[in-house]
Amino acid sequence: MAKGKGIIIGGGIIGLTIARGLYKRGYDLTIVDKDVIGKGASWTAGGMLAPQSEGLDIDDFFKFCLESRDMYKDFTEEIVEETGKKVNYWKCGILCPAFDEMEMEYLINKMNEYKSVGKNNIEFKNFNLNGEWIDRSELENIYTSLGKDILGGVLYYEDGQVDNQLLLEALKSYVIREKIDIREKTKVLGIIEENGKFEAVKTENGKIEGDFCILSAGAWTGEIIDIPIFPIKGEMISMEIDIGEIDRVIFSSKAYIIPRLDYSKLVIGATEERVGFKDGNTVKGVMKLMKGLTDTFPHMEHKDIKEFWFGYRPGSLDLLPVIGEYKIENLFLATGHYRNGILLAPITEKIISELIDEGKKSPYLELFSWKRFF
Ligand SMILES: Cc1cc2nc3c(=O)[nH]c(=O)nc-3n(C[C@H](O)[C@H](O)[C@H](O)COP(=O)(O)OP(=O)(O)OC[C@H]3O[C@@H](n4cnc5c(N)ncnc54)[C@H](O)[C@@H]3O)c2cc1C
């Protein structure tokens, strides 16, 4: 007998990962998506697992990101085993090149700060926060061409990537195989409550009742309940790449450059704009990415372009996630993951599942509470 019936609004990486977690714990679930599952921002992302390369400040959010980074190997191995699908998790390391002296100083200071925190701060003692400065001369030996301004770069060994599109395919195949109820092309219009308790979701195709609900509608969350989550648009392109041509993710102020493990493509991202839901790629956006690529690797200008696309990061007012209980009892939020939703899927699932199934309250829930906006 199922423990209870949960409705998950949104079948992106967050909704699907939570669906898998709660299904394993014995819940009966319905996933509702206005479009199709396995797409959303999650499909459009770069798939980087990059808390150090992102240059995050030393705080609880950084710790949250590191915990999730450390969960990724097991998380993806389990999914591969369960589904027989590859997801191309790759702890390739991420190189952050410096294009001028100021950037070099900033990157080296950041790297040293991480190293020192990793050694001396008890809160971070379980994480590997190593990094290394690699000189231009060394990089010249590795890459076919190197932008003339690059002075060298900081390499973070523990950062990496997953092929987010393959991961979504695998998660989707999991929920289909387990016969989890999936309602696609079903837009949720609102939440129905009774005496302050969750009752049902109101959709354009009628209402769906449940014991509890998880709202994981990404950048569209603010259309369903009144919390300040808004879209932060990002444009991406992909190019052809030869096998072994670029050996790891390159993350700079100009662009990030992501060779997939199987070298099926080179993904380049991403612009960041607050323009609401404004679909399409722009000349400006694509040019910025191409310049970022060729400033890093000039020889890439001769490569074929494969694809252009765009997506909407779910950003909150302080750009931190919104996770946990809401003012309506049995309505849980798992949204606002902004630039790091792929990275944060495993830990988000963990704290939401533990909250629902065991009543266990992670200390992170206070930091990510919706109440901070009101
Ligand atoms: C260009 C770009 C690059 C990125 N790169 C990275 C990266 O390298 N690493 C990283 O960790 N993160 C990255 N991110 C961020 C990451 O993609 C997001 O944080 C993450 O995908 C959010 O996942 P989600 O499941 O919350 O949202 P989504 O994947 O957007 O899923 C939300 C789902 O909810 C559905 N939905 C919305 N409204 C309704 C409704 N009313 N009714 C029913 N269904 C609804 C949507 O159709 C969608 O399927 C990137 C994002 C972008 C845009």
| pLDDT > 70 fraction of the chain, expressed in percent and rounded | 100
Cα–Cα–Cα angle for 363, 364, 368, nearest 5°?
Answer: 135
* Ligand 1 atom at minimal distance to the Cα of residue 336: 26
* Ligand 1 atom at minimal distance to the Cα of residue 224: 41
Question: Ligand 1 centroid to 11 CA: how many Å?
Answer: 9
Give per-residue pLDDT as tens, 70-105.
Answer: 999 999 999 999 999 999 999 999 999 999 999 999
* Ligand 1 atom at minimal distance to the Cα of residue 258: 8
Instruction: State whether the beta carbon of 15 lies less than 6 angstroms from ligand 1.
Output: yes
pLDDT confidence tier of residue 229, bands split at 50, 70 and 90: very high
Give per-residue pLDDT as tens, 35-71.
Answer: 999 999 999 999 999 999 999 999 999 999 999 999 9
How far apart, in whole angstroms, are the C-alpha atoms of residue 323 and residue 314? 13
Residue 310, helix vs strand vs coil: strand
Instruction: State whether the beta carbon of 47 lies less than 6 angstroms from ligand 1.
Output: yes
pLDDT at 250: 98
Model pTM greater than 0.95?
Answer: yes
Q: What is the mean pLDDT of residues 122-131?
A: 95
What tokens does 300 get?
Answer: 């890439």
Catalogue the long-range contacts made by 140-144 (C-beta closer than 8 Å, 24 or more residues apart). 142/247, 143/246, 143/297, 144/245, 144/297, 144/299
pLDDT at 79: 98
DSSP 14-29: HHHHHHHHHHHTT-EE
pLDDT of 1 higher than 80: no
What Rg value do the Cα atoms of the chain yield, rounded? Answer: 21
Distance of CA 339 to the CA centre of its chain: 6
Instruction: State whether the beta carbon of 289 lies less than 6 angstroms from ligand 1.
Output: no
Instruction: State whether the beta carbon of 220 lies less than 6 angstroms from ligand 1.
Output: yes
pLDDT at 2: 81
CB-count exposure of residue 232 (10 Å: 0-12, 13-18, 19+):
buried
Instruction: State whether the beta carbon of 9 lies less than 6 angstroms from ligand 1.
Output: yes
